Structure 1
Amino acid sequence: MAMWSLRNLLLWEALLSAAASGTQVHGQVGGSVLLVAERPAGFQVREAIWRSLWPSEELLATFFRGSPETLYRSRFLGRAQLHSNLSLELQPLESGDSGNFSVLLVDTGGRARTQILQLKVYDAVPRPVVQVFIAVSGDAQPPKTCQVFLSCWAPNISDITYSWRREGTIDFGIEPSGLFTDGQVLRISLGPGDKSVAYSCIVSNPVSWDLATVTPWESCQREAAPGKSSYKDVLLVVVPISLLLTLAGLLSAWHSYYSGKKQKDVCIDRVAPETENPLVALP
């Protein structure tokens, strides 16, 4: 009888898939997430089915006649718990748990309701690394201002956003004109009055965030030398130019090779008829 009910519920779910609604849920690797089964007012649930739809279709949990069951051989075996309100809790989360899930609810009157949930599991954001690049003028006297590039990078992570704030001020906003590379690089100009000013790079994703703080003026005093350019500033300029020149050289070499090959093919086509005549036997 239970198997008959299960087959009929799966059929109901297929017929009602067009009426399904999608909900996005975020989770963190190592943590837990609750997939909530929403029930309309007056909807008295008699049977329920939780399934994983993507990347693989698996039966996760069922509720029949007041009896919950989660011991199905899915990738969530031992990590799924069906609560009394028919919401499904998954823990601990793994990076491969992202995907689509569905819950089918059937009430005592035979009405069915299907809900689709999209789970996205993120890694915890690590503490970013901030590097200070100093641009030094060629004047004999120490400069009155210090041009600084702050570069922020979070290792081994994806789906993150970068933002900056100037500590100790009410307005934490940074002018967009000073931001480069999707917010990873910040350009600022400092003077003697900014000796104690600190800047923080904040990296975040939908489930976590972290930051790193630096005081750029310290690097201005330590690394700037009159008449010389900081080696970091040189790298900031030279490396992109070197990459562009290398790419241009490769494109030029490819064009020369392609053009030479095309000319060679044309020459072969022209010479071929002439080299065939001496091979013709004379009468």
Structure 2
Amino acid sequence: MAAQYLWSLLLWAALLPIADIGAQVQGQVGGSVLLVAEHPPSFQVREAIWRSLWPLEELLATSFRGSLETLYHSRFLGRTLLHSNLSLELRPLESGDSGNFSVLLVDTGGRAWTQILQLKVYDAVPRPMVQVFIALSRDAQHPKTCQALLSCWVPNISDITYSWRREGTVDFGIEPHGLFMDGQVLRLSLGPRDQGVAYSCIVSNPVSWDLTTVTPWESCHHEAAPGKASYKDVLLVVVPVSLLLILAGLLSAWHWGLCAGKKKKDVRADEMATETENTLV
């Protein structure tokens, strides 16, 4: 009898217009989220039915006359908790849990109230990687200024926002004309007065954030550290090796061409000799 009544309510809900479309609810992978069942103040709830509408339509939880039930074979089985106020808790959240959810409430007078909630689940933002690239000046021993590019990056995560903060000063702002690639790259002109100034790259999405802080002036010292090659040393090795490889390729192609031509000439000579012998015979 209860099952028949449940399916009647579900059919009724499919025919009813939506009474309220709730705001988007945001959650983080591994965390929890509470889908709150809201209704008018004079609405005395008797039954409640929670469903997942998209990407799959599934029954998640029900409440009939104070009896709460969540053991339905949906993708949320074992991850749902229906509270006494009829709000539905989902935990732990997974990346594929984003979608639309509905709750059908029926009061003691037989009135129905349907609410739609949109859940968006985000990955936690990892700590960004920051690289400092320096344009070397002519005076390598005592640089007065240097141009720096700070590149910030995180793995491929959706809805990421990049921003920069200058630490150690009253004014934390960054001039917009120094930002490129949607804030991932920051261009700076540094001098000795910036020796102790640090810059932080902040990455965030709607539910989490993280940052990495660097002091770019430290990269403006052009003396190569022991055991580390400077960019000039790299060029001195890479360029000659590249030229040698190109030259070796050209010589190989030339040698192969000569061998192929000689082989064709020998074959042609053999054919001519054969034709001559046939003619004499």
The bucket for the TM-score relative to the shorter chain is 0.7 to 0.9
User: Given that residues 12 and 112 in structure 1 are in contact (C-alpha distance below 8 angstroms), is that contact kept between their aligned partners in structure 2?
Assistant: no
In structure 2, how many angstroms separate the alpha carbons of the residues matched to 1:145 and 1:122?
Answer: 42
* Aligned counterpart, 1:66: 66
> Cα offset for 1:217?
0.3
Amino acid at match of 2:121: V
* Aligned counterpart, 1:212: 212
Alignment CA distance shift 1:51-1:223 (3 Å): farther
* Aligned counterpart, 1:8: 8
Q: Which runs of 5+ in 2 are unaligned?
A: 225-229, 235-281
In structure 1, how many angstroms separate the alpha carbons of the residues matched to 2:7 and 2:93?
Answer: 30
Instruction: Let me know the Cα RMSD of the aligned residues.
Output: 2.2
* Aligned counterpart, 1:94: 94
Q: Deviations over 1:148-190 (max 9, x none)?
A: 1100001242221100000012322211111000100001111
Instruction: Name the SS of the counterpart of 2:96 in structure 1.
Output: helix
* Aligned counterpart, 1:195: 195
> Cα offset for 1:142?
4.0
Counterpart mapping for 1:11-50 below 5 A: 11-50=11-50
Q: Deviations over 1:208-227 (max 9, x none)?
A: 11100000000011468xxx
Amino acid at match of 2:181: T
Amino acid at match of 2:54: W
Instruction: Name the SS of the counterpart of 2:73 in structure 1.
Output: coil
What percent identity do the matched residue pairs reach?
82
Instruction: Name the SS of the counterpart of 1:3 in structure 2.
Output: helix
User: Given that residues 127 and 210 in structure 1 are in contact (C-alpha distance below 8 angstroms), is that contact kept between their aligned partners in structure 2?
Assistant: yes
In structure 2, how many angstroms separate the alpha carbons of the residues matched to 1:223 and 1:117?
Answer: 59
Q: Which runs of 5+ in 1 are unaligned?
A: 225-229, 235-283
In structure 2, how many angstroms separate the alpha carbons of the residues matched to 1:63 and 1:154?
Answer: 44
Alignment CA distance shift 1:44-1:219 (3 Å): same
1:51 paired to 2:51: yes
In structure 2, how many angstroms separate the alpha carbons of the residues matched to 1:189 and 1:132?
Answer: 13
User: Given that residues 134 and 223 in structure 1 are in contact (C-alpha distance below 8 angstroms), is that contact kept between their aligned partners in structure 2?
Assistant: no
Q: Deviations over 1:121-150 (max 9, x none)?
A: 111110000000101234577442111110
Counterpart mapping for 1:104-123 below 5 A: 104-123=104-123
* Aligned counterpart, 2:128: 128
* Aligned counterpart, 2:181: 181
Alignment CA distance shift 1:192-1:67 (3 Å): same
In structure 1, how many angstroms separate the alpha carbons of the residues matched to 2:97 and 2:153?
Answer: 26
In structure 2, how many angstroms separate the alpha carbons of the residues matched to 1:220 and 1:138?
Answer: 12
Instruction: Name the SS of the counterpart of 1:159 in structure 2.
Output: coil
Amino acid at match of 1:114: T
> Cα offset for 1:23?
1.9
More divergent stretch after superposition (17-26 vs 115-124): 17-26
Amino acid at match of 1:206: P
Instruction: Name the SS of the counterpart of 1:13 in structure 2.
Output: helix
User: Given that residues 131 and 150 in structure 1 are in contact (C-alpha distance below 8 angstroms), is that contact kept between their aligned partners in structure 2?
Assistant: yes
User: Given that residues 145 and 190 in structure 1 are in contact (C-alpha distance below 8 angstroms), is that contact kept between their aligned partners in structure 2?
Assistant: yes
* Aligned counterpart, 2:166: 166
Q: Deviations over 1:42-75 (max 9, x none)?
A: 2100110000011101000001111010000001
* Aligned counterpart, 2:264: none
In structure 1, how many angstroms separate the alpha carbons of the residues matched to 2:214 and 2:141?
Answer: 26
* Aligned counterpart, 1:154: 154
User: Given that residues 29 and 122 in structure 1 are in contact (C-alpha distance below 8 angstroms), is that contact kept between their aligned partners in structure 2?
Assistant: yes
In structure 2, how many angstroms separate the alpha carbons of the residues matched to 1:161 and 1:19?
Answer: 35
How many pairs were matched up? 230
Q: Give TM-score scaled by structure 1 length.
A: 0.76
Instruction: Name the SS of the counterpart of 1:133 in structure 2.
Output: strand
Amino acid at match of 2:217: W
In structure 1, how many angstroms separate the alpha carbons of the residues matched to 2:204 and 2:32?
Answer: 19
Q: Give TM-score scaled by structure 2 length.
A: 0.77
In structure 1, how many angstroms separate the alpha carbons of the residues matched to 2:17 and 2:129?
Answer: 46
User: Given that residues 141 and 222 in structure 2 are in contact (C-alpha distance below 8 angstroms), is that contact kept between their aligned partners in structure 1?
Assistant: no
